[in-house]
Amino acid sequence: MKRQPQAWLHAKVRLQPQLLVQAPPWVRGMFDHAWAPMSALAQQASCLPSSLWDYLLDSDGGFVSICNGQSRYVPGAALIGRRQVANAAFVSVEDLAAKNEQPLHAIGHLTDHYLGCSGQPDSLWLSEGGGVTVHWRQAGARLQRLFALGYGVDEIARSNSRDYFAQSMALYCLDRKRLNVADPQIYKWLRATLWNPASWRGQIPDQG
């Protein structure tokens, strides 16, 4: 049974206490109530494939904190409030207010890490040639070759393979036409992998 993003949001996403109280005035003016940033993240994240929700929801760790400060992904031990978690994407409430790609970029790093090695430390991410199954390792190897071509959609995507994946995934959600014009090969790769239900069918992670 395919889960909806709301199940992932409920299980894995947390709002920083007093988030809007501590935010800049212009950010507070963009949201009607304290829970609105969660709704904004849900709206952005709704474009991601449903099978990804299944995978991330069933994975250990991989939490998201909506917070003040910069959007970023922290692999390894991280604090969300007073709780220590493994692997956390921090999504800036300012980026949600601005409706830019940074929230999905941070979630892209989380996705990259978990599809590469189930979020394990010191292991290859998908964009580095890793993969939790043979299928995803093949996809990761292809992704490395695409990054080496140097056609990333912007300077961020061209900076390293992890940012190449994260930025391309974010732009696939928010501006597919721009991504397809700048880097049609990664556009096709995303359509054939993350957004292809067949890529997820029967994919059982390797043991050991």
CA 84 from chain centre, in angstroms, equals 20
The amino acid sitting at 52 is L
Helix, coil or strand: residue 13: strand
The answer to whether 65 touches 84, Cβ cutoff 8 Å, is: no
User: What is the average pLDDT across 40-44?
Assistant: 94
Quickly tell me which residue has 């409430």 as its tokens.
Answer: 93
Q: What is the pLDDT of residue 6?
A: 82
pLDDT at 190 over 60: yes
Residue ranges per domain, the chain?
5-200
Token code pair at residue 182: 């700048």
Q: Say how far apart CA 174 and CA 195 lie, in whole Å.
A: 14
User: What is the average pLDDT across 153-171?
Assistant: 98
Starting at the edge strand that comes first in sequence, how are the strands of the sheet with 13-15 ordered?
A: 13-15, 63-67, 83-92, 72-80
Q: What is the pLDDT of residue 5?
A: 75
What CA–CA distances, in Å, run from 141 to 7, 186, 207? Answer: 31, 13, 20
Class of domain 5-200: alpha beta
Kindly report, residue by residue over 81-134, the tens digit of the pLDDT: 888 999 999 999 999 999 999 999 999 999 999 999 999 999 999 999 999 999
Q: Are strands 83-92 and 72-80 parallel, antiparallel or unpaired?
A: antiparallel
The answer to whether 95 touches 71, Cβ cutoff 8 Å, is: yes
User: What is the average pLDDT across 62-85?
Assistant: 94
pLDDT at 174 over 70: yes
Quickly tell me which residue has 């979020």 as its tokens.
Answer: 119
pLDDT at 203 over 80: no
Kindly report, residue by residue over 45-63, the tens digit of the pLDDT: 999 999 998 899 999 999 9
Kindly report, residue by residue over 134-151, the tens digit of the pLDDT: 999 999 999 999 999 999
What DSSP element (H or E) covers 87? Answer: strand 83-92
